[in-house]
Amino acid sequence: DKKINGLIVPHAGYEYSGQVAAYGFRQLNNDYKTVILMAPSHHVRFDGAAVLNVSYFKTPLWKVKVSNKVEKLLKEDSVYEMPEVYEEEHSLEIQLPFLQKTLKDFELVPLITGDVNPSELAKVLEKYVDDKTLIIASSDLSHYHSYNEAVKLDNECIKNIEEMNIEGASKCEACGVMPILILMEIAKNFNWKSQIIKYANSGDVTGDKSKVVGYSSIVFFEKEGSLSKEERSILLKLAREKLES
């Protein structure tokens, strides 16, 4: 029954990681107006974060409207419009059908990360997060180790994420480590907690355990008794007014 604010899900082909991703998406309710979807770039090296300022994304299901927050983000430091980054990139688009089937109506903020300071980008994105916002980090875990070695590496990575150990998580062998770190920075600032929902790797799917890729679904939610962003804002406003009076 916890309200999910953030989610880490894998982005391999649906036949490989789709079941693990589905565990994460099944935790969501429909109470989101905006989805900030962060994914890594597999083909283009660049500094900052790339957005795509278009009207919508089109999938085989239907169109996904792009939020007007993208235009506002383009005025921020380290955020640029780079369509070429999106041309061959699957890690963001593969999440859209899951969102379309899970959520009723939402607007998308697409963000592909390059070389960027995760703490600084987290501070930028926090300005666009409210109680109707879901933040997703698209990432697989370790790549091409033996089954047992992959499980060992991935368990250590997941442990660091669950413990909100950002420095430890930065050492994770994950292609989407930057989106993960940005989500963790936001979660730490908003006092969210994280929990593993499902872990598996490609060896569990194909039976070939010689060189596997790890997948996880991890949710982020408000700690019990913690205040929402809007509640904190109201209390801060009241405190300022009290001091002034």
- pLDDT, residue 223, reads 80
How do residues 122-179 score in pLDDT, each as one tens digit?
999 999 999 999 999 999 999 999 999 999 999 999 999 999 999 999 999 999 999 9
- pLDDT, residue 239, reads 67
Global pTM value: 0.89
Q: Which residue in 138, 133, 141 sits closest to 111, CA to CA?
A: 138
Radius of gyration for the alpha carbons in the chain, expressed in angstroms and rounded: 18
Q: Which residue in 122, 106, 155, 98 sits closest to 49, CA to CA?
A: 122
| Helix (H), strand (E) at residue 155 | helix 147-162
In the numeric block, the tokens 């939020």 are attached to 67
Q: Which pLDDT band, with edges at 50, 70 and 90, does 230 fall under?
A: low
- pLDDT, residue 52, reads 92
pLDDT at residue 227 tops 70: no
Q: Are 21 and 37 in contact (CB under 8 A)?
A: no
Q: Which pLDDT band, with edges at 50, 70 and 90, does 232 fall under?
A: low
Tell me whether strands 49-51 and 107-113 are parallel, antiparallel or unpaired: antiparallel
